[in-house]
Structure 1
Amino acid sequence: MFTGIVQGKAQLIDSDKKEGLYTYTFKFPDDQSNTRIGSSVAINGTCLTVVKVDQYQLTFDLMQETLRLTSLGQLKPGDVVNYEHAARIGDEIGGHLMSGHVHCTAPLVAMHTSENNLALIFEVPSEWSRYIFPKGFIGVNGASLTVGDCNAQQFTVNLIPETLRVTTFGDLQEGHLVNIEIDPQTQSIVDTIERVLPTLIRQQAATE
């Protein structure tokens, strides 16, 4: 599990792309020697398993399903990503619990800059937009963010300077894809209501 609090930015320094399997090596800003092979690290919100450790570098294998569901397949050497190591028992949950399982990708369709604030507007597939509500949680490239405005296709997040400093959001441009993880509690509530409510309405109608 992850908290959605991005710990920093890592740079892709090597990519080995084979059919159905990509191997990426990232350089981190701090020593990763204590990271064990088999550990989980969220890269742009995608839970990946460490397969090699080399002081400031970690290597991961990306399978076909990961490449299909996320934007990671578009990365090239030199690109920078958000990262977070898996949470440990006792860690502060400053964001919201996240699994690192990406539901979909979303393009950045607009951005609005004002003093000390950056508003980003993303467009999501309709099958996922029903889980997004104003003031609700959403994971965007591994960051736990609060939804501002939203409609049937788009949602807005507002970023403060500290978020921009720690993450890669300040480097996004219109058209860039981000990884989206829907808040699982919201998804569970919406799915339950959609499943149960028609039955309750029919039962109510039958008693009238």
Structure 2
Amino acid sequence: MFTGIVEELGEVTAVENLGDSSRFRLRGPLVTDGARHGDSIAVNGVCLTVVETQDGEFTADVMAETLKRSSLGALTEGSRINLERPMALGGRLGGHIVQGHVDGVGTVVERTPSEHWEVVKVSLPAGLARYVVEKGSITVDGVSLTVVDAGPDYFTVSLIPTTLALTTLGVKQPGDPVNLEVDVIAKYVERLLGAHTGDTAR
């Protein structure tokens, strides 16, 4: 489990196309410190398994399903990435419960700068809007954020200077894809209510 509090702004150092998958080499000295084969690290909100580590870098295999359902397929050598290790038992839940399972890919629609923050509007894929509510939580490229405005096919978030400086959201431009993970509690509530009413189609 993750919390959506990015620990390090890393970088893609190599991408190897394996046909039905890709192998990424990713630089992140902080998150690789003490990491071993089989450990998990969230990359732009996607939970990946460490294959090996060396000199502040780690490799991870990304299957076709993950490439299809996330924006990781758009990463190239030199791309900046948000990195987070799983929360340690007994640690602080600084953001919200994040699984590292992407629900869909949105697109940055527009950025509105203010003196001390920026409001960013992001498109919502069909079917996700029902899980997004004003003042609720959402994960964007692995960053736990609070929804400002929730529309039928979009939402907005306000980014403070720290988020702008220490995550990829500071440089994402209109048209750029972002990984979205909605609050898992909302999905469980929907499922339970559906079972209670007899609607188990979802």
The two structures have a TM-score, normalised by structure 2, of 0.94
2:35 — aligned with what?
35
Separation in structure 2 between the aligned mates of residue 88 and residue 30 of structure 1, nearest angstrom: 15
Q: Give 1:27 shift.
A: 1.2
Aligned to 1:30, the other structure's residue is in SS state helix
| Cα contact 1:33–1:54 (8 A) shared by 2 | no
Per-residue CA distance 1:16-72 (angstroms, 9 max, x = gap): 012111000011243724111100000000000000100210110000111011000
Separation in structure 1 between the aligned mates of residue 89 and residue 148 of structure 2, nearest angstrom: 31
Aligned to 2:98, the other structure's residue is in SS state coil
Larger radius of gyration: 1
Cα separation, partners in 2 of 1:68 and 1:31, compared to 1, 3 Å: closer
Separation in structure 2 between the aligned mates of residue 191 and residue 134 of structure 1, nearest angstrom: 21
2:86 — aligned with what?
86
| Cα contact 1:9–1:29 (8 A) shared by 2 | no
Give unpaired runs (5+ residues) of structure 2: none
Aligned to 2:134, the other structure's residue is in SS state coil
Per-residue CA distance 1:126-183 (angstroms, 9 max, x = gap): 2111110000010110111000001110000101001112211111000000000010
Separation in structure 1 between the aligned mates of residue 156 and residue 191 of structure 2, nearest angstrom: 23
Q: Does residue 1:179 correspond to 2:162, yes or no?
A: no
Alignment of 1:1-208 (within 5 A): 1-30=1-30, 32-193=32-193, 196=196
Aligned to 2:128, the other structure's residue is in SS state helix
Code of the residue aligned with 1:152 in structure 2: it is P
- Fraction of identical pairs, as percent: 36
1:203 — aligned with what?
none
Aligned to 1:130, the other structure's residue is in SS state helix
Q: Give 1:190 shift.
A: 3.3
The two structures have a TM-score, normalised by structure 1, of 0.91
Aligned-residue Cα RMSD (Å) equals 1.5
Cα separation, partners in 2 of 1:198 and 1:36, compared to 1, 3 Å: closer
Q: Give 1:193 shift.
A: 3.7
Code of the residue aligned with 1:57 in structure 2: it is E
